[in-house]
Amino acid sequence: MRNALTIDVEEHFQVHNLEAAVERSSWDRQESRVEANVWRVLELLDRHRVKATFFVLGWVAERRPRLVGEIASRGHEVASHGYEHRLVYTQTREEFAEDLRRSLGVLGQALAAVPGLDGGTICGYRAPSFSITRAVPWAQDVILEAGLRYDSSIMPATGHPRYGIGDAPRFAHVLSNGLVEFPMATVRAGGRNWPVAGGGYFRLLPLAFTRWALRRLNRQGHPAVVYLHPWEFDPEQPRFRGPSAWLRFRHYVNLDRTAPRLERLLQEFSFAPLREVFGDLLRRVHD
């Protein structure tokens, strides 16, 4: 069974855990490390002949259009991570629609510049910090109205202060408006859902647990949606002192283990982009 590997492309200083320490107005003055970090991910995936879905932030794409083209030219799927990396539930419907429109515009321009790619097709979206929650019931309608075919923004679990819909369906499904939703991988135990395969969970939990969770999901007949960020492959990134000790810990813990852990998973499991793993479902709904 193929699982979905997804990479949320953003700078190390744009993470919401650090927003109290890094003002948005200073972003262009910070050291940019996203290009080198994405190259690390691309080279690792090339070694294992694995393709992934890259949810690229529009802010990054506007400043690094050739990086977007490089991702696509290597056969990976390019999708939208929004433009400004703002939590969806901090925006109005109109602001969210404009943020998404702007991101699709800069991604489209970057892809159009790649010879032989014919502009590519952007099919999907992922919200920053999985911030599509019950507070924004209109968000998935906006995504569909933007011409996209799927969303991958739902964390079907509770307990995190920033995101989570505990009673959301855990596996790929079609919403009432026709948009297809690909939730993050969780396992169910003790009457609740637990995140298992991405971000801080991937770095903090033992690799043996992640492997067990993926095998369990696959045995049950479900592909796992795994997510990581390029900055998680960069243990040498600058440290910011502003946030709380807990937030700093969550952001910086085990950065040196991300690459070797992912390499181990790539050796043991099969991975592909979202639009390929769930291609049959997308075709049934939209073709």
pLDDT tens digits for 40-65? 999 999 999 999 999 999 999 999 99
Residue 61 parent element (H or E): helix 58-63
Range of the domain at 174: 2-23+31-286
pLDDT of residue 118: 62
Strands 192-195 and 124-125: unpaired
Q: Is pLDDT above 90 for 128?
A: yes
Closest C-alpha to 225, from 57, 1, 6: 6
pLDDT of residue 163: 83
Structural domain total, the chain: 1
Q: Is pLDDT above 80 for 160?
A: no
Contact indicator for 167, 136 with CB cutoff of 8 Å? no
Length of the chain: 287
The H-assigned helical ranges of 64-145 are: 65-73, 93-112, 139-145
Residue type present at position 161? P
The CATH number for 190's domain is 3.20.20.370
How far, in Å, CA of 228 to CA of 70, rounded? Answer: 19
How far, in Å, CA of 81 to CA of 195, rounded? Answer: 20
What is the distance in angstroms between the CA of the first residue and the CA of the last residue of the chain?
A: 24
| Beta partners for residue 77, in sequence order | 53
How far, in Å, CA of 30 to CA of 252, rounded? Answer: 18
Average of per-residue pLDDT across 194-223 = 95
